[in-house]
Chains A and B, each alone.
Chain A
Amino acid sequence: MNRLPLRPLARILDARAQGVNPLTIEKENLRLRREQQRDAGRRRAEWRLLFLATAFFAGYAAIGAKMGMLAASPVVESEPYVGESISGERADVLDRNGNILATNLVTHSLYAEMRYMVDGRRAAHELVQIFPDLDEERLAARLTDPNRRFDWIRARVSPEQAQAAHDIGEPGLLLGPRDMRLYPNGTLAAHVLGGTTYGEQGVTAAEIQGVAGLEYAQNQRLSDADLADVPLSLSLDLGVQAAVEEVLADGIAMYNANGGSAILMDAHTGEIVAMTSAPTFDPNDRPAPALTGDPADSPLFNRAVQGLYELGSVMKVFTVAQALDMNMVTPETMIDTRGPIRFGRFRLSDMHSMPASMSVTDVLVESSNVGTARIAQMIGAEQQQNFLRRLGLLDQMPLEVSETGRVRPQYPARWSELSAMTISYGHGMTMTPLHLAAGYAAMVNGGTLVQPTLLRRPDAPVGPRVITEETSRIIRTMLRDVVTEGTASFGDVDGYAVGGKTGTANKVRPEGGYYQDRTVATFAGAFPMNDPRYVFVVTMDEPTIFVAGQNRRTAGWTVVPVVAQMIGRVAPMLGLRPQTPAEIEAGMQLR
Chain B
Amino acid sequence: MRALFYLLTAFGVIGLAIWAYDQNQKTQVAIRDVRGLRAEIRSLHEALDVQRAEWAYLNRPQRLRALAQMNFERLGLLPLQGGQFGQVDEIPYPLFGAAVGASPEDTL
Binding site for B on A (CB under 8 A): 79, 81, 84-87, 99-100, 103-106, 182, 184-188, 238-239, 242-243, 246, 493-496, 568-569, 571-573, 576-578
A281 to chain B, nearest CB (A): 14
Q: Which of B63-89 contact A (CB under 8 A)?
A: 65, 79-85
Question: Is B56 on the interface with A (CB-CB < 8 A)?
Answer: yes
With contacts A84-B42, A103-B49 taken as known, whether A569 is within 8 angstroms of B79 at the C-beta atoms is: yes
Q: A577 CA to B84 CA in the complex, in Å?
A: 9
Partner of A105, one of B42, B49, B61: B49
Q: A440 CA to B2 CA in the complex, in Å?
A: 100
Partner of B61, one of A100, A242, A572: A242
With contacts A105-B50, A105-B53, A185-B61 taken as known, whether A243 is within 8 angstroms of B45 at the C-beta atoms is: no
B56 touches A99 (CB 8 A): yes
A81 touches B46 (CB 8 A): no
Partner of B53, one of A184, A186, A187: A184
B53 touches A238 (CB 8 A): no
Question: Is B26 on the interface with A (CB-CB < 8 A)?
Answer: no
With contacts A100-B56, A239-B61, A242-B61 taken as known, whether A106 is within 8 angstroms of B82 at the C-beta atoms is: no
Q: A103 CA to B60 CA in the complex, in Å?
A: 14
| In the complex, residue of chain A having the shortest beta-carbon distance to the beta carbon of B48 | A87
Q: Which of A87, A188, A494, A573 has the most CB of B within 10 A?
A: A87
Question: Is B41 on the interface with A (CB-CB < 8 A)?
Answer: yes
Question: Is B62 on the interface with A (CB-CB < 8 A)?
Answer: yes
Q: List the A side residues contacting B21 at CB < 8 Å.
A: none
Partner of A571, one of B42, B50, B82: B82
With contacts A81-B41, A184-B57 taken as known, whether A577 is within 8 angstroms of B85 at the C-beta atoms is: yes
Known: A184-B57, A188-B62; 18 extra A-B contacts, CB below 8 A, are: A79-B38, A81-B41, A84-B38, A86-B46, A87-B45, A99-B56, A99-B59, A100-B52, A106-B50, A185-B56, A188-B60, A238-B61, A239-B61, A495-B82, A568-B82, A572-B82, A573-B80, A578-B82
B62 touches A185 (CB 8 A): yes
| In the complex, residue of chain A having the shortest beta-carbon distance to the beta carbon of B83 | A578
**In the complex, the 10 A-B pairs of residues with the closest C-beta atoms, listed nearest first:** A242-B61, A184-B56, A100-B56, A578-B82, A184-B57, A577-B85, A572-B80, A185-B60, A87-B49, A572-B82
B68 to chain A, nearest CB (A): 12
Q: A573 CA to B85 CA in the complex, in Å?
A: 11
Q: A494 CA to B84 CA in the complex, in Å?
A: 13
Q: A569 CA to B79 CA in the complex, in Å?
A: 7
With contacts A85-B42, A184-B56 taken as known, whether A242 is within 8 angstroms of B62 at the C-beta atoms is: yes
A100 touches B85 (CB 8 A): no
Q: List the A side residues contacting B80 at CB < 8 Å.
A: 569, 572-573
A103 touches B52 (CB 8 A): yes
Q: A566 CA to B33 CA in the complex, in Å?
A: 57
Q: List the B side residues contacting A85 at CB < 8 Å.
A: 42, 45-46
| In the complex, residue of chain B having the shortest beta-carbon distance to the beta carbon of A245 | B61
Q: A494 CA to B85 CA in the complex, in Å?
A: 13
Q: A393 CA to B74 CA in the complex, in Å?
A: 51
B79 to chain A, nearest CB (A): 6
Q: A243 CA to B68 CA in the complex, in Å?
A: 14
What are 5 A-B interface contacts by the 8 Å CB criterion?
A81-B38, A87-B49, A103-B49, A185-B56, A243-B79
Partner of B56, one of A103, A242, A573, A578: A103
Q: A180 CA to B16 CA in the complex, in Å?
A: 54
Q: List the B side residues contacting A105 at CB < 8 Å.
A: 49-50, 53
The digit string for B73-108, where 1 denotes a CB below 8 A from any CB of A, is 000000111111100000000000000000000000
A572 touches B81 (CB 8 A): yes
A100 touches B53 (CB 8 A): yes
Q: A569 CA to B38 CA in the complex, in Å?
A: 47
| In the complex, residue of chain B having the shortest beta-carbon distance to the beta carbon of A571 | B82
Q: A496 CA to B56 CA in the complex, in Å?
A: 31
Q: A31 CA to B84 CA in the complex, in Å?
A: 123
Partner of B81, one of A184, A239, A242, A568: A568
B47 to chain A, nearest CB (A): 10
B19 to chain A, nearest CB (A): 13
Q: A243 CA to B46 CA in the complex, in Å?
A: 32
Q: List the A side residues contacting B45 at CB < 8 Å.
A: 85, 87
| In the complex, residue of chain B having the shortest beta-carbon distance to the beta carbon of A77 | B34
B76 to chain A, nearest CB (A): 17
Q: Which of B38, B42, B52, B53 has the most CB of A within 10 A?
A: B53
Q: List the B side residues contacting A493 at CB < 8 Å.
A: 82
B52 touches A106 (CB 8 A): no
